[in-house]
């Protein structure tokens, strides 16, 4: 090998990789939602002068910790082939339980959090047992168990908002780093962990494969039933984490507010499946979808549309996301059959 070849060899792969990266980023199918998000930001910046401010973007970035974690819980269940409709109720119960144990029973907040997480694991295991072992649809199971859980909570702690949780916990969760609360950094950490597990580990790839084609995965020796059960346990646990973060951010538990997390979670999950890895539920897509949704809602609120606009925007986004998901799936099936 000559000196000249040593000098020139690294140049071409770098240029070629940069070229392919550039072409890849222009892939409308993968990054279409990102482009729409950027256009949305530009449009609101032009028509709403108060939108294009650094503080507005700080609020958008830092306000979605709870919603992202709930949506990740929904996505994990969906990847496992299950629908978890109890996530919003678990958020409410987890938050109220932490506050009640800490204030009424004088439990240290750390022990209260650990107890709530353990209860969430048990609740997810119950959902998994009824769904996987007994064969009941996860939609029916989680709808019923979530309603039962809320009923038990109301009987134990009531449905009124509760405050007075440990001030140190609130201060820590809400502590701002570069203008964003610590809670959002915890959320991004959770996202990185789940991305690593799902994309870069054999167990995670097997889990994704089993969710896409359970019968083929079973024939390949993958324990599909265990993965389905694990998805429901993980979903319940993540929802409890979201409820705990919500208490830390607000300093109180408000059970009635938690119901508002269900529709955005499913909208974010399905909308996220149309970006980055189209046709597949994925972690990065969740972050893009949630921030796209909150950008739209925030812009509309600054235009003067409040209250009903949330339901309209999230509901319309869910419908569009499901339609796009079906179209992507149909397109991929047509490509496979053509080849």
The number of domains in the chain is 1
Indicate whether 36 belongs to any domain. Answer: no
Which pLDDT belongs to residue 26? 64
The pTM of the full predicted model, rounded to 2 decimals, is 0.88
Beta strands 176-177 and 180-181: pairing type? antiparallel
Indicate whether 336 belongs to any domain. Answer: no
In the chain, count H helices and then E strands: 17, 4
What residues form DSSP beta bridges with 163? Answer: 252
Indicate whether 21 belongs to any domain. Answer: no
pLDDT level of residue 219 (50, 70, 90 thresholds): confident
Q: What does the block give as tokens for 270? A: 């399905």
Residue that the structure tokens 């059970």 belong to:
255
Indicate whether 23 belongs to any domain. Answer: no
With a cut of 70, say whether residue 19 has pLDDT above it.
no
Which pLDDT belongs to residue 221? 85
pLDDT level of residue 94 (50, 70, 90 thresholds): very high
Give the model confidence (pLDDT) of 181-198 as tens digits.
Answer: 999 999 999 999 999 999
Q: Please state the separation of Cα 260 from the chain's center in Å.
A: 14
3-state helix, strand, coil in the chain (%, to 5): 80, 0, 20
Which pLDDT belongs to residue 190? 97
CATH number of residue 186's parent domain: 1.10.3470
Give the model confidence (pLDDT) of 280-328 as tens digits.
Answer: 899 999 999 999 999 998 988 888 887 777 788 888 888 888 887 777 6
pLDDT level of residue 21 (50, 70, 90 thresholds): very low
Which pLDDT belongs to residue 336? 61
**Closest listed residue to residue 325, CA positions, set 95, 29, 40:** 29
Indicate whether 35 belongs to any domain. Answer: no
Provide the CB-side half-sphere exposure for 141 (13 A, CA): 22
Indicate whether 13 belongs to any domain. Answer: no
With a cut of 90, say whether residue 91 has pLDDT above it.
yes
Mean of pLDDT over the chain:
87
Report how far apart, in Å, the C-alpha atoms of 217 and of each of 77, 209, 222 are.
Answer: 17, 7, 5
Instruction: List, in order, residues 6 or more apart from 252 with CB less than 8 Å away.
Output: 99, 161, 162, 163, 164, 165
Higher pLDDT, 128 or 280: 128
Give the model confidence (pLDDT) of 200-211 as tens digits.
Answer: 999 899 898 888
pLDDT level of residue 8 (50, 70, 90 thresholds): very low
Indicate whether 219 belongs to any domain. Answer: yes
Q: What is the DSSP letter of 129?
A: I
pLDDT level of residue 2 (50, 70, 90 thresholds): very low
Which pLDDT belongs to residue 148? 96
Q: In terms of residue numbers, what domain contains 129?
A: 48-328
Query: pLDDT over 70 for what percent of the chain?
Result: 89
Indicate whether 65 belongs to any domain. Answer: yes
């Amino acid at each position: 090998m000559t000196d000249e070849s040593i000098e020139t060899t690294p140049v071409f792969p770098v240029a070629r990789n940069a070229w392919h990266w550039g072409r890849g980023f222009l892939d409308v199918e993968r990054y279409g939602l990102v482009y729409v998000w950027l256009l949305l930001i530009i449009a609101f910046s032009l028509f709403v002068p108060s939108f294009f401010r650094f503080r507005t973007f700080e609020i958008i970035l830092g306000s979605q910790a709870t919603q992202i974690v709930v949506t990740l819980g929904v996505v994990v269940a969906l990847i496992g082939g299950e629908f978890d409709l109890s996530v919003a109720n678990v958020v409410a119960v987890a938050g109220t339980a932490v506050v009640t144990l800490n204030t009424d029973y004088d439990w240290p907040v750390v022990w209260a959090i650990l107890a709530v997480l353990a209860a969430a694991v048990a609740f997810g295991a119950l959902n998994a047992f009824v769904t996987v072992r007994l064969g009941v649809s996860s939609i029916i199971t989680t709808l019923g168990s979530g309603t039962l859980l809320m009923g038990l909570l109301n009987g134990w702690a009531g449905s009124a908002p509760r405050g007075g949780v440990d001030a140190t916990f609130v201060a820590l969760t809400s502590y701002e780093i570069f203008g964003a609360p610590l809670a959002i950094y915890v959320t991004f950490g959770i996202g990185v962990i789940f991305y690593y597990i799902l994309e870069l580990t054999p167990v995670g790839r097997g889990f994704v494969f089993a969710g896409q084609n359970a019968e083929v995965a079973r024939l390949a020796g993958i324990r599909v039933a265990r993965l389905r059960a694990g998805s429901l346990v993980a979903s319940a646990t993540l929802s409890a984490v979201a409820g705990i973060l919500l208490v830390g951010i607000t300093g109180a538990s408000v059970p009635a507010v938690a119901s508002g997390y269900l529709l955005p979670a499913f909208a974010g999950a399905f909308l996220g499946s149309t970006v980055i890895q189209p046709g597949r539920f994925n972690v990065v897509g969740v972050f893009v979808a949630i921030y796209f949704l909150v950008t739209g809602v925030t812009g509309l609120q600054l235009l003067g549309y409040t209250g009903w606009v949330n339901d309209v925007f999230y509901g319309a986004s869910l419908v569009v996301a499901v339609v796009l998901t079906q179209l992507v799936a149909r397109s991929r099936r047509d490509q496979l059959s053509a080849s």
